[in-house]
């Protein structure tokens, strides 16, 4: 029981530190924002890399995310975690840039219910093989898989970030998992 209490106390302490850093950054403290950047840049970059599939674009998107966050910090209301807010900004940056380049998202139409039992891989897979399979997905399916399957957002949260219907999000996740499963099974991902 003591371990659970200690972990809970640590989580509260970390949240308090982050709240203090946000407050200082809002007052123009660049060092406080730099600490927030160091804390969150890796995960934001990972999200950008998975969605963009291009290291240079991911770097650009990450930087744009933090520039926008700095400019909008006074509007961060702390109703969500800082990481969630930054992910939302990153997704918006990526989608805006795609629209500017006229890259289609390739979402399928809303689907009826899907079969959750078939959403797992049957055999162990190397991480690189799995990343390659995910990278080969159409952007819409890859985005939903990244947000829901990797980062744990709900269908509602991911749908709101991507500007799609929740049913479309469910269908895309099902489609993405099926495509990854098929590509891994066929060896296409290697």
* DSSP notation for 98-140: HHHTT----PPPP-S---GGG-S-SS---HHHHHHHHHTS-HH
Give residue-wise pLDDT tens across range 47-66: 999 999 899 999 999 999 99
Give residue-wise pLDDT tens across range 90-142: 999 999 998 887 554 444 443 333 333 334 444 455 778 888 888 889 989 99
Task: Kindly indicate the confidence band of residue 188, based on its pLDDT and cuts at 50, 70 and 90.
Answer: low
Architecture (CATH level 2) of domain 116-186:
Orthogonal Bundle (1.10)
- What's the confidence (pLDDT) of residue 143? 93
Dig out the tokens for 3 from the structure: 């371990």
Give me the residue spans of the domains in the chain. 2-100, 116-186
Rounded (10°) CA dihedral 88, 19, 38, 40: -30
Q: What is the pTM of this model?
A: 0.70
Fold of the 2-100 domain: Rna Polymerase Sigma Factor; Chain: A (1.10.1740)
């Amino acid at each position: 029981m003591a371990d659970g209490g200690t972990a809970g106390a640590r989580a509260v302490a970390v949240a308090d530190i982050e709240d203090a850093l946000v407050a200082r950054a809002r007052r123009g403290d660049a060092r406080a924002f730099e600490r927030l950047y160091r804390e969150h840049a890796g995960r934001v970059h990972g999200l950008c890399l998975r969605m963009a599939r291009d290291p240079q674009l991911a770097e650009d998107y990450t930087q744009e995310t933090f520039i926008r966050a700095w400019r909008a910090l006074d509007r961060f209301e702390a109703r969500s975690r800082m990481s969630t807010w930054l992910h939302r900004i990153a997704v918006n940056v990526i989608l805006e840039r795609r629209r500017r380049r006229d890259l289609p998202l390739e979402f399928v139409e809303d689907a009826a219910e899907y079969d959750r039992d078939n959403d797992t891989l049957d055999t162990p897979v190397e991480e690189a093989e799995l990343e390659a399979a995910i990278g080969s997905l159409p952007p819409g399916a890859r985005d939903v898989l990244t947000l829901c399957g990797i980062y744990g957002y709900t269908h509602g949260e991911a749908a709101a970030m991507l500007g799609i219907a929740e049913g479309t999000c469910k269908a895309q996740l099902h489609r993405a998992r099926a495509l990854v499963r098929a590509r891994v099974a066929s060896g296409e991902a290697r």
